A = this chain, B = another copy of it.
Amino acid sequence: LEKVMKGRQPTDLMLRCTILDSEGTVKTISGQFKKSDLCVEHRLNPRDLRKIDSRVPNLVPTILIRKEAILVNILHIRALVKADAVVLFDTFGSSDSKLHSVFLYHLEHNLKIRNSGAPYEFRAIESILLSVLSALEAEMVFIRNLVGGLLAELEDNIDHDKFKRLLHYSRRLTSFKNRAKLVEEALEDVLGQDDDLVAMYLTDKKNGIDRELDDHEELEVLLESFSKQVEEIVNEAENIESNVQSTQEIVELILDSNRNSLLALDLKVSIGTMGIGTGALVAGMFGMNLTSHLETTPYAFAGMSALSAVVALFVASIGLRRLAKIRKVGLSNTHNRMTARKPWLPLPLRRRSSDLW
């Protein structure tokens, strides 16, 4: 515990980062910087960098707007966007990722476009959000295929190996959905606060241009567009989730119903066994070394054999008839009598409930 509290005290940690300058060219790759230097240089509070600190994985994405910079921390991207530079922090173990290099390539490309109209910082944010979106979409497609394939297999055959896979997929789906939802919320949070949106016009701020509190349409359209696309992904994840849910429920019903069928067959077998047992009892009695006075009656053997078979069949048929009565299950029988009891109810209310079914 002590360690936890001490770990929180400002220490001069090194952070590895990649820096792009105002032309969009990479200045430093995975260079090491002191945390405190970074704070001073970009006028940040040490607390702001705590989340960037690559050793602590974090679930909740944040977009922090500071005086001269925007700190973006969404999924695999931890970046500091300024009016004339972008600092990408290396997250633990992600430097070799293909995703990261595609992102870097796109970011460079996007920052180099001069005449796009959008200011430098917005082009950086667009690249970041695009990379986030691609990552989410890729995982979405991957999970959808996994789950879709499994549900298709369940169509053919229900067995418990599939349940185990279902568990792993649904854990993963839930975790994915939550992450996507949190990304959406982070975007919505920024969109919901006019002052934050205006504060994100870093180039204007740098150039000393004052903006009205509601003059941020360009940025709003940009963020809203991404927010809508993330919402779409969240929606699809929820769709898959409810699909998995209803499949689970129905599979349980099918297993239950199947169990009843098994039990019914078991019963038939038991009944048969009992019948045979009764016949065997009859036969056993005549097998006793006692005098039944039928020992020499000519057709006694055939008669007794027939008798024991008849007893067996008779006992079994009683059992089977009882079983048939229990097996017949439906939802309806008592219903009719009951509904007849409510003639005084206000008509309009009654009509509606009977309309539905």
Contacts and interface: CB of A to CB of B under 8 A. Distances in A.
A326 interface: yes
A139 B174 CA distance: 23
A231 interface: yes
B160 A254 contact: yes
A308 B285 contact: yes
B281 A156 contact: no
A157 interface: yes
Interface string A222-261: 1001001001100110111011001111111111111111
Given A60-B235, A250-B331, 19 more contacts: A1-B134, A5-B102, A94-B351, A154-B331, A157-B330, A158-B257, A168-B338, A171-B243, A171-B357, A174-B242, A175-B239, A175-B352, A175-B356, A262-B326, A277-B280, A280-B280, A285-B301, A288-B304, A290-B295
A122 to B, nearest CB: 12
Interface residues of A, number: 162
Interface stretch (A15-23, A31-39, A203-211, A342-350): A342-350
Interface string A148-189: 100110111111110111111011101110110010000000
Interface string A33-61: 00000000000010110110000011110
How many copies of this kind of chain does the complex include?
Answer: 5
Interface in A265-299: 265-267, 269-274, 276-281, 283-298
A4 interface: yes
A138 B280 contact: no
B246 A252 contact: no
B75 A349 contact: yes
A181 B36 CA distance: 32
A283 B106 CA distance: 85
Contacts of A94: 347-348, 351
Q: Is the interface of A mostly helix, strand, loop or mixed?
A: helix
Nearest to A110: B9
29 contacts: A4-B138, A8-B130, A50-B225, A59-B232, A93-B347, A135-B348, A156-B331, A157-B330, A163-B253, A163-B254, A164-B254, A166-B253, A167-B250, A171-B243, A171-B246, A171-B353, A175-B352, A175-B353, A179-B352, A250-B331, A252-B253, A265-B323, A274-B276, A277-B280, A284-B308, A287-B287, A290-B300, A290-B301, A291-B297
